[in-house]
Amino acid sequence: MASTTNNTITNYLSLVKFSHTIFALPFAIIGYFLAIHFTDATFSLPLFALVILCMVFARSAAMAFNRYIDRKIDEQNERTAIREIPAGAVKPQSALIFVIVNCILFISTTYFINSLCFFLSPVALAVVLGYSLTKRFTALCHVILGLGLSLAPIGAYLAVTGKFDWLPLFFSFAVLFWVSGFDIIYALQDEEFDKSKKLKSIPVWLGKKGALMLSTVFHIISASFVIYAGFYAHFNVWYWIGTLVFCGLLFYQHTLVKPNDLSKVNVAFFTTNGIASVVFAVFVLIGLFVK
């Protein structure tokens, strides 16, 4: 019985790629502590826990919905046929119930944060869930994914302050172009399959070389927002060390992937970007609280 339960938990964690939470969660934490540092707000462990739960619930709903909506496509793609739904590890109906439960939990959690977050919660869900439908009609699906993850820093800031401000928005814009850029790189793997199924993506639209060029442009824009935020808020040297690492890893991932060599896409996608977000967040927090 215990073994069956463990397998079920493992299947659902794999279904939502829980390990990929490492991309946006550090930026949510940045948004939360920006609000603590630059306003009169004080740290609240219960509120911080609610912010983390919102991240987990929203992302779990989005990923499970993506797997549910794309289940027929995934089973036809050799790369994705091993995913939990086409492989039979998770039933489609169970995945849909999982999505609904996480959506309810997300909205319920925002209710205990503040009224603004509660009223905006359906909008946030519409963005993060709607991404899964976009590759059927627009090559800009990568940008919609970036938009979904970019809600992390501004959402966490709103949870603390209940009002918008420019500084967390700069980090949101940085996340938007960062995620859009590395998702384009990841999509290179499915260029031919997507063409055959009439699915939209930047690699399908521009080809591998053009897609990598646009990804580079997006990452330059992302780095620009990170740098501008540093000047805007007069961050100290710790922030700039983190910025140097973040920008350096953005550059590094583009040395790993070539139009004729996609063997290191996963290293560029997960390892490099995961390290970039965590290290950057650590140095930002050090910069906020260590003089």
Residue 3 pLDDT exceeds 60: no
> In Å, how far are 27, 32, 47, 104, 204 from 44, measured between CA atoms?
18, 10, 5, 24, 46
Q: What is the pLDDT of residues 64-121, one digit of tens each?
A: 999 999 999 999 999 999 998 999 999 999 999 999 999 999 999 999 999 999 999 9
Nearest to 103 by CA among 74, 62, 142, 47: 62
Residue 267 pLDDT exceeds 60: yes
In this structure, of 11-20, 104-113, 118-127, 276-285, the range with the lowest mean pLDDT score is: 11-20
179, 150 Cβ separation under 8 angstroms: yes
Please give the mean pLDDT across all residues of the chain. 93
Q: What's the pTM value of the predicted model, to 2 decimals?
A: 0.93
Token code pair at residue 165: 């401000």
Nearest to 68 by CA among 51, 46, 37, 90: 90
Residue 187 pLDDT exceeds 60: yes
Q: What is the pLDDT of residues 202-236, one digit of tens each?
A: 999 999 999 999 999 999 999 999 999 999 999 99
Distance CA 174, CA 24 (A): 11
> In Å, how far are 15, 46, 113 from 71, measured between CA atoms?
11, 37, 34
Give the domains, in start order, of the chain with CATH numbers.
Answer: 2-289 (1.10.357.140)
